[in-house]
Amino acid sequence: MRRFTPAGVLVLLFALFISACGKAPDPAAKAVEDYLSALVNKDSARLSALSCADWEASAMLELDSLQAVATKLEGLTCSVTAMSGTTSEISCQGKILTTYNNEDQQLDLSVRTYQVVKQGGDYLVCGYK
């Protein structure tokens, strides 16, 4: 029977602890990732739920503009670039790929900075600049 030394057990436990401590995404950045996923998946109910009241109509217009094209996300990662009170600014990397009549286009997500507000414990997309 093989025996483990106390040092070996500590190393194993430390390795397990480190691997379990992956950094969770910031909830404001996660809200933008979820918003973009809902947009690409054309999920109007989810998109609406992830939008603040002032932005909801604009979010639905964005969704309408994608209805006639095939869409998918590529390489999406978002992070907080600034915070002030309950408002966060989120920058993303990646693209929305669209296809219509065998014509492909890419929408670069890095050109927008998303505005996210925390309302009632939820992080909601409230526009971009």
Establish if 112 belongs to a structural domain: yes
| Number of domains composing the chain | 1
Average pLDDT of the residues in 115-122:
95
With 80 as the cut, is the pLDDT of residue 92 above it? Answer: yes
Q: Which of 82, 107, 78 is nearest to 93 (CA)?
A: 78
Establish if 96 belongs to a structural domain: yes
Question: CATH number, domain at 33?
Answer: 3.10.450.100
Establish if 8 belongs to a structural domain: no
pLDDT of residue 11: 39
Establish if 12 belongs to a structural domain: no
Establish if 92 belongs to a structural domain: yes
Between 56-65 and 27-40, two packed helices, what is the crossing angle to 10 degrees?
Answer: 40
pTM for the predicted model, two decimal places: 0.81
Full residue range of the structural domain in which residue 85 is found: 25-128
**Model confidence pLDDT, tens digit, residues 16-63:** 343 344 456 799 999 999 999 999 999 999 999 999 999 999 999 999
Q: Which of 98, 115, 114, 116 is nearest to 106 (CA)?
A: 98
